[in-house]
Amino acid sequence: MSEIPQDTILSSDISRKIGKDAQRNNILAARIISDIVKTTLGPKGMDKMLVDSSGNITITNDGVTILEELEIEHPASKMMVEIAKTQEREVGDGTTSAVLLAGKLLEYGEILLDKKIHPTIIVKGYELASKKSLELLEEISINFEGRELLEKIAQTSMTGKGAEGHREHLSKILVDAIFQVSSMEEIQRENINIQKLKGESVSDSEVIKGVVFEKERAHKDMPLCVVNPKILLIDFPLENKSPESEVHLNISTPEQLQRFIEREEYALKELIENIIQNNASVVFCQKGIDDVAQYYLAKAGILACRRVPRSDMERISRATSAKIISHINELKQEVFGRAETAEEVLHRDTSLLYIRGCTNP
């Protein structure tokens, strides 16, 4: 059987490498990535100035930021970028160290390949070394109590991320946040929400023992601040529902039209009255709030927010012990949440809703 020419199957812009050429090519590509971030490591590490295709400039010595900005095509190099991203996602620091370690392992792996050692044997050796390293780390690790060392670790992680001038202040609030969401030996990272505001001073950063989210009152006449609020969470709309199927109304006189409008308003008012009679003082609604409903809520001195995202509703529920209800018939005293204050604060052009002093912040 005659051999089929490669160019009759593969595209002309495809290159194919096998054997040692492929190994050397992949190792070289990965080591180039390692060399790029090498000079950013350590207390004397230097910053990199990155200019992308749009002309945007980034100055940083953070390993994962550098690698994300690079427009990398080689598959082996992309794997090195994934190492950095995984390290950042799982640990939050040490991305440059992880890439350099991977680069060195490949460098010495190439030396072993030159000695005719099979790649499978080299991989097995690295696996044994990994297990031994974990054992040694376990032996030299120390237990500690208190927050001083944690603050120092946080300050180290901030080096090179543009926060060195405020690292003492930021490290304190970071450790406060961690202690606030930790239970037993588990840290519930998903319970920490970072809210960013452009234009404010870094020194104004603080830990809120409660919930903060970007939202404003539904009506300007509603109170800006409520002390010791009874918080109600609802995921049904406070507005008249449109009929699910097509409906025809035969109205022959203006009086009939007026009665129909009044009946709609009455049904909505009855819904709001139920909320008012149960002494709710703050209402967060996942759906819409009708203009008429806004008026009645504002008149009763209730602070209400509409179209609150589900994720924020769940955070408020966890922090205040409020239960999210799906129907007005579920409204009873047990579903309300508690806090010390609920307040809308305007930061430049951004309105934030603060719920402070929660029972389970």
CA distance 61 to 160: 6
Mean pLDDT of the chain: 83
CA distance 276 to 283: 10
Is 244 part of any domain? no
3-state secondary structure 219-272: CCCCCCEEECCEEEEECCCECCCCCCCCCCCCCCCHHHHHHHHHHHHHHHHHHH
Q: Which of the given ranges, 39-48, 95-104, 139-148, 195-204, has the highest pLDDT on average?
A: 95-104
Q: Are residues 19 and 112 in the same domain?
A: yes
Is 337 part of any domain? yes
CA distance 277 to 296: 12
Backbone angles phi, psi at 181, to 5 degrees: -105, 5
Task: Say which range, 95-104, 157-166, 190-199, 225-234, has the weakest mean pLDDT.
Answer: 157-166
10, 256, 267, 276, 326 from 264: Cα distances, Å? 69, 13, 5, 19, 21
The gap from C-alpha 340 to its chain's centroid, in whole angstroms, comes to 26
Q: Are residues 106 and 122 in the same domain?
A: yes
Is 286 part of any domain? yes
Q: Are residues 156 and 133 in the same domain?
A: no
Contact indicator for 68, 52 with CB cutoff of 8 Å: no
pLDDT digits (tens, 9 = 90+) for 186-227: 777 777 888 888 777 788 888 888 888 888 899 999 999 999
Q: Are residues 112 and 174 in the same domain?
A: no
- The CATH number linked to 116 is 1.10.560.10
Q: Are residues 86 and 169 in the same domain?
A: no
pLDDT for the residue 1: 47
The gap from C-alpha 92 to its chain's centroid, in whole angstroms, comes to 13
Is 296 part of any domain? yes
- The CATH number linked to 225 is 3.50.7.10
pLDDT digits (tens, 9 = 90+) for 246-270: 766 677 777 666 666 656 666 778 8
Positive or negative, the CA dihedral 251, 252, 254, 258 is negative
Confidence grade of residue 331 (pLDDT, cut at 50, 70, 90): confident
104, 127, 131, 138, 237 from 134: Cα distances, Å? 18, 11, 5, 6, 54
Is 77 part of any domain? yes
pTM listed for this prediction = 0.64
Domain count for the chain, please give it: 3
Is 145 part of any domain? no
Tokens of 304: 């209400």
Going by C-beta distance under 8 Å and a sequence separation of 6 or more, which residues neighbour residue 26? Answer: 75, 76
Q: Which of the given ranges, 9-13, 92-96, 295-299, has the highest pLDDT on average?
A: 295-299
Is 247 part of any domain? no
Q: Are residues 88 and 51 in the same domain?
A: yes
Residue bearing tokens 């790649």: 119
Contact indicator for 67, 33 with CB cutoff of 8 Å: yes
Residue 128, domain extent: 13-140
Among residues 99, 36, 103, which one has the least CA distance to residue 69? 36
Residue 5 has pLDDT above 70, yes or no: no
Tokens of 167: 């690292």
Q: Are residues 98 and 175 in the same domain?
A: no
Exposed (0-12), middle (13-18) or buried (19+): which is 270, by Cβ within 10 Å? exposed
Is 5 part of any domain? no
Q: Are residues 162 and 99 in the same domain?
A: no
Q: Are residues 91 and 166 in the same domain?
A: no
Q: Are residues 25 and 124 in the same domain?
A: yes
Q: Are residues 173 and 287 in the same domain?
A: no
Q: Are residues 351 and 234 in the same domain?
A: yes
DSSP 329: G
Q: Choose the final residue of a domain: 140, 164, 180.
A: 140
CA distance 337 to 312: 14
